[in-house]
A and B are shown apart, each in its own frame.
Chain A
Amino acid sequence: MRLLNLIKIAYKAIILNKMRTLLTMLGIIIGVASVIAMLAIGEGSKESIRSTISSMGSNMITIRPGADDRGPARGSGGNVQTLTLEDYNVIKEKVDLLSNSTPVVNSNGQVINGSNNWPSSIYGVYPEYLDIKVVGLQSGSMFTDAEVNTASKVALIGQTVVDNVFPNGEEPVGQMIRFNNIPFKVIGVLEEKGENTFGQDQDDIVIAPFTTVQKRILAIDYLNQIMASAVSEDDAPEAVEIITEILREQHKLQDFEDDDFTVRSMEELISTFSSTSEMLTVLLVAVAGISLLIGGIGIMNIMYVSVKERTKEIGLRMAVGGKGSDILMQFLIEAILISITGGVLGVALGLGATVFIENFLNWPTSVAMYSIIISFAVCAITGIFFGWYPARKASALDPITALRYE
């Protein structure tokens, strides 16, 4: 009842000074709107990174030779020859949590078609590779297990390779190309994937049967990599652990020895890159937070003016029985009303700005519920914090002096 009266009084004071109140609110409105928009941009980029990585196969697990924390003296992991086809077979046999898996050997070289040539990379894999990497075919078909067994000289090429070695728009499927002087028959073209989040061209690639690359091009007996996909994204961390255990056993490592291989799930990659964008979000929000602070100072300023201007009114209110606490609450509620109304308008503006950014600038955005709740709470606190001191000043006025104030 009493509080309701005070809210009415504060509301009345705000209505009587519409323009001034609106300008005061503007600081808060802009502050809140920018917090929400910035968080939406931050969240959006985080989600976009996540979805990019997911499109590369979010349940993908890669196993590479060499320890993760290798120092400069140990040399590049690719040269470490600890991963073998035997390892692959054991993993494939023993780990139930994997749906697909393939050994990988790769090499760089020159793709040549007549007078056209292009430096690219060749990957020797099993047919499951396409499922693990979630790549489709534009034309042609994947090689078969039989072709792997016979080390057939067939290959699939990515769009970048097509563009460079078939510049005149001929149909590549069925044509012969040479990779490091070994002739391959093109049996398919991979679906275009474009650059990934890390700026790597995913279409600059040649894929051939594992045996063909390992025996005919590289002439090695170890693997560069094993790729697999877990049954589901949630199973990936457990699969990583099991694979690690099996490989340690397989490599006869003692307890005190470090792993001579690295098993990684995409989940780790996601968190690595998310942390970068989280940093960005923190910065954006800090900037937005500062503007909210400035909005709060605006409220404090205007409340001071208001107290000064209404000194006589305060005197009268005290004379007719208003207590110090009533006056304090009146001005405090006024400040809170301004900041909360500003908050509501700010949320609306922030959401509007987010829609605008999404549709006209084509930046990925995602509005998180928590950002709305937080900025709203911050608004109320701003009102209390910056309204307190002027309100306190008003309540401490001497009614006699206040009544005589001109």
Chain B
Amino acid sequence: MAKETIKIENLKRQFTMGSETVHALKGISFTIEEGEFVTIMGSSGSGKSTMLNILGCLDQPTSGNYEIDGVKVKNLSKNELATIRNEKIGFIFQSYNLLARTSAIENVELPLLYNSKVTSEERRKRAINALEMVGLGDRLFHTPSQLSGGQQQRVAIARSLVNNPVMILADEATGNLDTRTSYEIMTLFQELNKKGITITFVTHEPDIATFSGRTIVLKDGEIMQDYKNHKVQSAADQLAKLPLENHLS
């Protein structure tokens, strides 16, 4: 059996809004094994965002168990959570969240700045490697404003890779991109996944799910479906099939 990267058991999260208690997650259990590419789907209000926050160690469950890479997250302090985020998770956001007026390489170096074990030479070397992996080896010193949306998201992906995380956590990572660029980004995700990187992709777009090996569908705080995708589509093929006009327009 492959190593379990994520292990969730009977996870609950509720929020108190005034006198009302909102049950965002009502007892969820699943595991993600190393090397999997999972999409978590659901419409708004399904508990998707709450799930993402907890998976990303930005939030703590009210009850239940969450383990990432064998570490029990419950009862960890804020600082310990920050260290877990720093060492085990790579975040990718819908709006890229790059530092403005800061070069690609410095953006990618950012997570390593918060890891005192990494020397500045190693930091630079790893940032260059990560940028080469996402195909931006020739754009190291471009600032976000000098890059297209797709390129900015690639910088963000490089940033998520630079700390060698156990899992990349993407939040609507293609939401701001046109179809062609989304397929390009999905191609990149598939390539990274082939190299053995675990990816959890939170989205509400059904076609994105067809590129992943497994889909978990949330509804009203519960898992509605959890199925393996036996016919994973290749994003590269889809990209090739796109009409050329689309690219030119």
Contact with A along B96-112 (1 / 0, CB 8 A): 01011110000000110
A400-B59 contact in complex given A318-B82, A321-B83, C-beta closer than 8 Å: yes
Shortest beta-carbon distance from A401 to chain B in Å: 10
Contact with A along B68-86 (1 / 0, CB 8 A): 0000000000110011011
Contact with A along B33-76 (1 / 0, CB 8 A): 00000000000000000000100101100000000000000000
Kindly list chain A residues whose C-beta atoms are within 8 Å of the C-beta of B110: 316-317, 320
State which size class the interface on B falls in: 20 to 34
Kindly list chain A residues whose C-beta atoms are within 8 Å of the C-beta of B87: 321
Q: Is B179 part of the contact surface with A, judged by Cβ < 8 Å?
A: no
Q: How far is the CA of A399 from the CA of B54 in the complex (A)?
A: 12
In this complex, how many residues of chain A approach chain B with their Cβ under 8 Å: the count is: 23
Q: Is A1 part of the contact surface with B, judged by Cβ < 8 Å?
A: yes
Q: Is B211 part of the contact surface with A, judged by Cβ < 8 Å?
A: no
- The contact sample of 12 A-B pairs, CB cut-off 8 A, is A9-B113, A312-B97, A316-B93, A318-B82, A319-B56, A320-B111, A320-B114, A321-B87, A321-B115, A322-B114, A323-B78, A323-B83
Q: Are B116 and A2 in contact, CB atoms less than 8 angstroms apart?
A: yes
Q: Are A323 and B101 in contact, CB atoms less than 8 angstroms apart?
A: no
Q: Are A323 and B58 in contact, CB atoms less than 8 angstroms apart?
A: no
> CB-nearest residue of chain B relative to A12?
B102
Kindly list chain B residues whose C-beta atoms are within 8 Å of the C-beta of A131: none
Overall SS of chain A's interface: helix
Q: Is A5 part of the contact surface with B, judged by Cβ < 8 Å?
A: yes
> CB-nearest residue of chain A relative to B113?
A5
Kindly list chain A residues whose C-beta atoms are within 8 Å of the C-beta of B99: 313, 316
Residue from the list B53, B86, B100 in contact with A321, Cβ < 8 A: B86
Kindly list chain A residues whose C-beta atoms are within 8 Å of the C-beta of B83: 321, 323
Q: Residues of A at under 8 Å CB distance from B?
A: 1-2, 5, 9, 12, 16, 312-313, 315-326, 399-400, 403
Q: Is B159 part of the contact surface with A, judged by Cβ < 8 Å?
A: yes
Q: How far is the CA of A9 from the CA of B114 in the complex (A)?
A: 11
> CB-nearest residue of chain B relative to A312?
B97
A326-B93 contact in complex given A321-B86, A321-B87, C-beta closer than 8 Å: no
Q: Are B114 and A399 in contact, CB atoms less than 8 angstroms apart?
A: no
Q: Are B82 and A322 in contact, CB atoms less than 8 angstroms apart?
A: yes
Kindly list chain B residues whose C-beta atoms are within 8 Å of the C-beta of A9: 113
Q: How far is the CA of A324 from the CA of B111 in the complex (A)?
A: 15
Shortest beta-carbon distance from A396 to chain B in Å: 10
Q: How far is the CA of A1 from the CA of B123 in the complex (A)?
A: 13
Q: How far is the CA of A400 from the CA of B56 in the complex (A)?
A: 10
Q: How far is the CA of A322 from the CA of B99 in the complex (A)?
A: 14
A321-B111 contact in complex given A403-B93, A403-B97, C-beta closer than 8 Å: yes
Shortest beta-carbon distance from A316 to chain B in Å: 5
Shortest beta-carbon distance from B111 to chain A in Å: 4
Q: Is B91 part of the contact surface with A, judged by Cβ < 8 Å?
A: yes
Q: Are B85 and A321 in contact, CB atoms less than 8 angstroms apart?
A: yes
Residue from the list A16, A313, A315, A326 in contact with B114, Cβ < 8 A: A326
A324-B58 contact in complex given A12-B102, A403-B93, C-beta closer than 8 Å: no
Kindly list chain B residues whose C-beta atoms are within 8 Å of the C-beta of A1: 116, 119
